[in-house]
Chains A and B, each alone.
Chain A
């Protein structure tokens, strides 16, 4: 997996995260881990749920926007968080994502809770190739 870093002073009331991946697939997998870590302590989450997710977007950055938005959506609709993902991104506009994700249901009293993300914002939103891999910057409204 790639690397993610929560950035301190980009968003005063919210959360900015920089994500790096060796490949596009790796970046999307790392992005899932980052947003899961924002929401819960994954060590306190029983990994009991598997899902398949398919997305399509005309722009590559919008595919990342939709991917992270999907994670926020599943947190609210099903109380589920997915720290682990196997992702395959294909296409050249439209771009397609096929993912198998693993995670669990938030259990009050057992799961250590973090922030409750509202949305992915466009503020400073960026996805770009860098140093043979990929890098993204995302600000999440909490």
Chain B
């Protein structure tokens, strides 16, 4: 990517881990760009981040600043880790600020099991999960849906699943937006999107998506009180983490509307620096149609993770010979990291309705916020930050500072530092699988080359990202989780 002359050089430090690119740095910037990163993490950010975060700062209706979280890296249109809020009345909505994998997100499931109980049956467990949760190219799920049923899923999200026995009623309280975002409009979804996604409910996908068995190591609990509230009993406890999204259905919605917006921009007098930033006024015909279709895809992603949760519970019950309730398989939380949502935030002392885009960024609402489940309200919304398949992940909570500073947003993962091709050149998938097995991590994957692409060395150090979030106080770390089993597409 061609970098505007001096863009990296225009970065000014405004606080310990906050950096700003002023509006003068690029023609057309309406607000500054703000990068949230430690010095070393800022250095690691590829040049595309600086170009993209300043391009976003040029979009109509953007409020306060164009933001990038500490795990930021090159995306298309927005950087991964990009957060931007637009006025609902005069601003735009852009598929490039959400990504093709609408409501890609994370779910963490607690178990009452310990590593000592799971380790002897780990291979059996991973094999059974690999069979129960289809992964990789061309995979189909077990749920059969008619077109009209699929449209109901789009509106009801995870609630549809619970009503049909794929989950427990109490699961819903621990999902962002209760697993059902308002505004879904199945009539704004193309027939192709419907055809593409109908058979994929309950599938994992591939790329960086995974289902992981994780354990709490001694010393991994950083905040005892919050950990207890979130169902973390202590070292040795086993958790299940899930990373996936809306599958082909959401990808098709993104594809369809990128073309719609690409054609519509001239009629609204909008020009963008990057075609992937195609956008339309939120209140326009196209903007509302996309919002309806995008929300339908977001709800389908919640349903996807809910169906997979059902499968996980079935497998654990079978392998350990006890009911899933008895095994304590409760949902800790489920968060989106690719969405645009209508939210109300304080701007210059006034509450405004904003369309908050989070692309590879997680909502991180602080204590006391009404959208945080009542049982977590005292500690803040759980935030699940996924690391690489070798190094582990983290559970954090949102803060009041995030509400004031980043529209209640934080990082979503470790962020890549190496291309997929480079990673594949450095290690064979089969070699890595054997090496991980020797280190106590059992891996099953639909694609061996896909495993090599996701090697730990291809990602930033998650600890550095989480430390930065803690220093910034836009989320607080609660517990670190270490993988012992991994399923990949």
Contact = CB atoms under 8 A, between A and B. Distances in A.
A112 B450 CA distance: 11
Contacts of B48: 12
Interface residues of B, number: 53
A119 B137 contact: no
Interface in A110-127: 111-116, 118-125
A8 B255 contact: no
Given A39-B137, A79-B138, A141-B76, A12 B207 contact: no
Contacts, number: 131
Contacts of B251: 72, 76, 118-119, 141
Contacts of A124: 1
B258 interface: yes
B238 interface: no
B357 interface: no
B398 interface: no
Nearest to B251: A118
Given A11-B74, A123-B76, A118 B196 contact: no
A51 interface: no
A62 interface: yes
Nearest to A125: B275
Most central of A15, A112, A120, A122 by chain B CB within 10 Å: A122
B417 to A, nearest CB: 8
B449 A114 contact: yes
Contacts of B258: 119, 122
A114 B421 contact: no
A22 interface: no
B48 to A, nearest CB: 8
B101 interface: yes
A121 B418 CA distance: 20
- Taking residues whose C-beta sits less than 8 angstroms from the other chain, chain A's interface range is 35 or more
A13 interface: yes
B254 A123 contact: no
Given A118-B100, A121-B76, A113 B248 contact: no
Contacts of B422: 8-9
A142 B420 CA distance: 10
B137 A114 contact: yes
B149 interface: no
B447 A12 contact: no
A69 interface: yes
Contact of B419 (A12, A81, A105, A116): A12
Contacts of B140: 79
B278 to A, nearest CB: 7
Contacts of A40: 137
A139 interface: yes
B259 A13 contact: no
A12 B416 contact: yes
B468 interface: no
A73 to B, nearest CB: 6
Contacts of A11: 74, 419
A105 B449 CA distance: 20
B381 interface: no
B325 interface: no
Nearest to A109: B446
A122 B273 CA distance: 12
A123 B252 CA distance: 17
Interface in B1-51: 1, 46, 48
Given A13-B207, A118-B207, A122-B262, 4 more contacts: A105-B138, A114-B449, A118-B100, A141-B99
Interface of A: 6, 8-9, 11-15, 39-40, 62, 65, 69, 72-73, 75-77, 79-81, 105-106, 108, 111-116, 118-125, 139, 141-142
7 closest pairs, A vs B, by CB? A76-B248, A79-B138, A106-B138, A122-B275, A116-B206, A123-B76, A118-B251
28 contacts: A12-B48, A13-B207, A13-B419, A13-B420, A39-B137, A65-B259, A73-B192, A73-B195, A76-B197, A77-B248, A80-B138, A81-B137, A111-B138, A113-B136, A113-B450, A114-B447, A115-B137, A115-B447, A116-B206, A116-B489, A118-B100, A118-B101, A118-B254, A120-B255, A122-B76, A122-B275, A123-B77, A123-B276
